[in-house]
Amino acid sequence: MVQGESVPPPVSLPPLQRAMPVAEEGLATTSTDVVVVGGGVNGVGVARDFALRGLRVVLFERNDLAFGASGNSSGMIHGGVRYLSQAPHVTESSCRDSGYIQRIAPHLLFRLPFLMPIRNGAMGRIALELIDAYFRAYDDYQPLKRGEPHCRLDATDVARLEPGLAGTLLGGITFDEWGIDGARLCVLNALDAIENGARVHVHTTVETIARAPGGDGPVRYVVEARDRSTGERVCVGARVVVNATGAWSPVTASLGALPQARVRVRPGKGVHIVLDRRLSNYGILSEAIDGRQMFLMPWQNVSVIGTTDDDYYGDLDDVHATSEEVRYLVQGVARIFPSVREARAIGTYAGVRPTLYEYGRNEDALSRDHRVVDHAADGAPGVYSMIGGKLASYRMFAQELCDRVATADFEVTVPCATHTRRLPGGEGIPDATALAVEHGLTPVAARRLVYRHGGRARRILERVARTPTERDVTCPCEPVLEAEVRHVIREEMARTVYDVARRTRLGLGACGGMRCAARCGQIVAQERQLPPSEGGRMAREFVETQARARVVAMGPAQARQEALALAHLRSSLGESRDA
């Protein structure tokens, strides 16, 4: 365990020792090599890595893939410039892995140049020199991720690059990062795992992790899980169990009666605000009133403001931003970029980072490093927990774990292939403009489709060729074609309107799902052969959850839209509370 700095941890009572239960004979209906618990980026990364090494993998996800921190991150494969002084190895490994991710999913990344303005003031010149030197050190790592070296700008250059900046500036620094859609990254990893033999169960919660009767054969553990929508039980015997449940890690550990203190995380809630358009072509760094760094960045077709970092001990299945967090962020960014005050917020999202536990430290100063916990010390050899980590270095974290487990538990020596083998859609990426002409789509729709699906966009357009009505635009904000909605339900394990939104960004635009949720619910019900009322219920649930996330950022324009969405929903779909 990483030691706290100066404050001694509070004296705690000796933990209550519980032994991992032993499963009943014949409970496991199938057996596998590895059970992975958790469908975040760590879980799917590990599942893919094991599957590519020829091991059999079963993955359980309680909600949906990328439901937690992975799908609610800042959406960057950044090099971790923040960690350069604290932990340069984190920066180096982040940069190296960023390069690998570009290689395996070229369609999913977009260049995100950042601009760090320096205010004129007593310390301004010194600050500029220091920051310049700092980024000169960062430049050493940039080639690892095909980033441009940083630039030092004077006040005129800064004003020309981004005229919206306020205050008298001394100059600024630019540096290069890469943006990514975290949810899609998770889905692609899961797909590749499946295509290499893994089984992935979404909306399936693990209920117990027990010792297999009879001990140390190829099956050491029995994992019992329940599908949360159908109630169906799945029992799988496995030699190795990996706990990759992020902020839920202690909960998962307790399902196997493992000591929670061994997998302790410091859950840090991070809140982001989504604005309705790209306000700048640059990510802009700013400081909040308390000196914390925050940013405004163009991300896909919106802008994102982030982020907060506060200890969070609420319900992990229902994390949402509060209006005070929103105000804190907007005020912080408005100091340097005042027009965000007038910009229209169309939503917020929040996730909980599973940071390595340290007692007493400020949230920002916590390490973003990761660690593998081997539960052999707790009497459970072959059970591992993945603690910490970040989107940018998920692949390397997975590799670390798999390298160790493959030799220690399976005597498999197949080398890791996750950095060379492309993710689904990463090859043969079509030209969006040509595709638009060929299939009669708008160029925007074609571009978005190619961004999300890369080479697999063709599969979706084959659907359109077979059934021309699927050319229909289901979500006009994004836009998302009906064929894509059907594709992600059939091929990418989407089971609810929310799952479709995570995979396609349907309903996450300016209208908040008002124009597409009901239709999407119908399609989900059709594809999954559910009663149509179930589709309606999902649509209501989506719209209401999204409204909840939007309302905290509500400005005048948003309030009107909220009222209209409400009136429309009431008129055509009904409200769930009255049902």
Partner 1 sequence: MTDVVVVGAGVAATAAALSAAREHARVVLVDGGTGASSLATGAIDALPWQNAAAASDREASANGPAARSGAVDPRGRAVLDALGGYALPDRPALLLTTAGIARRADGHDAGLLNVAPLAGRRIGVVRCERPGWDAAAFAAAWGDSFVVVDATVLRYLDERVLPDGDFAARCDDAGRLGWLSERLREAVATAGGSPIAALVLPPSLGIERARAAELSARVGLPCGEALAAPGGPAGLRFERARDRALEAAGVERVRARASEVTRESDRWCVALDGGRTALADALVLATGGLIGGGIEYAPSEAMIASVLPPFARVPFRATVAIEGGSPLGMHGRPLELPGSLFGVAPESLAWPFAREAPMDRVGVLADADGRVSPGLYAAGDLVADAPRTWLHALESGARAGTNAARDAGAATSGHALATAGGAASPSRP
> Applying CB under 8 A, does 331 fall inside the site for partner 1?
yes
CB 477 within 8 A of CB 450: no
Candidates 331-339, 409-417, 420-428, 501-509: pick the segment binding partner 1 (CB under 8 A): 331-339
Residues in the chain: 579
From 7, 469, 479, 506, residue interacting with partner 1 (rule: CB under 8 A)? 469
From 388, 502, 522, 538, residue interacting with partner 1 (rule: CB under 8 A)? 522
The nearer residue to partner 1, 224 or 470, going by C-beta atoms, is 470
Q: How far is the CB of 468 from partner 1 (least distance, A)?
A: 7
> Applying CB under 8 A, does 123 fall inside the site for partner 1?
no
Candidates 12-20, 227-235, 427-435, 566-574: pick the segment binding partner 1 (CB under 8 A): 566-574
The nearer residue to partner 1, 104 or 330, going by C-beta atoms, is 330
Task: Using DSSP, state whether 83 is helix, strand or coil.
Answer: helix
From 144, 304, 525, 538, residue interacting with partner 1 (rule: CB under 8 A)? 525
* Stretch 332-371: interaction string toward partner 1, x if CB under 8 A: --xx-----xx-----------------------------
**How many residues at the interface with partner 1, by CB under 8 A?**
54
CA distance 346 to 550: 6
Which tokens hold the place of 562?
Answer: 């909220």
CA distance 92 to 98: 10
> Applying CB under 8 A, does 437 fall inside the site for partner 1?
no
* Stretch 4-43: interaction string toward partner 1, x if CB under 8 A: ----------------------------------------
CB 461 within 8 A of CB 439: yes
> Applying CB under 8 A, does 551 fall inside the site for partner 1?
yes
> Applying CB under 8 A, does 490 fall inside the site for partner 1?
no
End-to-end CA distance of the chain: 50
Contacts of 396 (CB under 8 A, 6+ apart): 93, 96, 97, 100
CA dist 37 → 199, 245, 308 (Å)? 12, 6, 27
Q: How far is the CB of 322 from partner 1 (least distance, A)?
A: 7
> Applying CB under 8 A, does 160 fall inside the site for partner 1?
no
CA dist 479 → 8, 110, 334, 501, 539 (Å)? 54, 19, 30, 12, 18
DSSP string, 346-391: EEEEEEEEEEEP-SS--GGGS---EEEEEGGGGT-TTEEEEEE--G
Count Cα atoms within 13 angstroms, Cβ side, for 219.
22
Q: How far is the CB of 169 from partner 1 (least distance, A)?
A: 16
> Applying CB under 8 A, does 485 fall inside the site for partner 1?
no
DSSP string, 281-324: SSEEEEE-TTS-EEEEEEETTEEEEE---EE--S-TTS----HH
From 189, 535, 538, 542, residue interacting with partner 1 (rule: CB under 8 A)? 535
Contact footprint for partner 1 (CB under 8 A): 322-324, 327, 330-331, 334-335, 341-342, 468-469, 472-474, 514-515, 518-519, 521-523, 525-526, 532-533, 535-536, 539, 544, 547-548, 551-556, 559-560, 562-564, 566-568, 570-575, 577-578
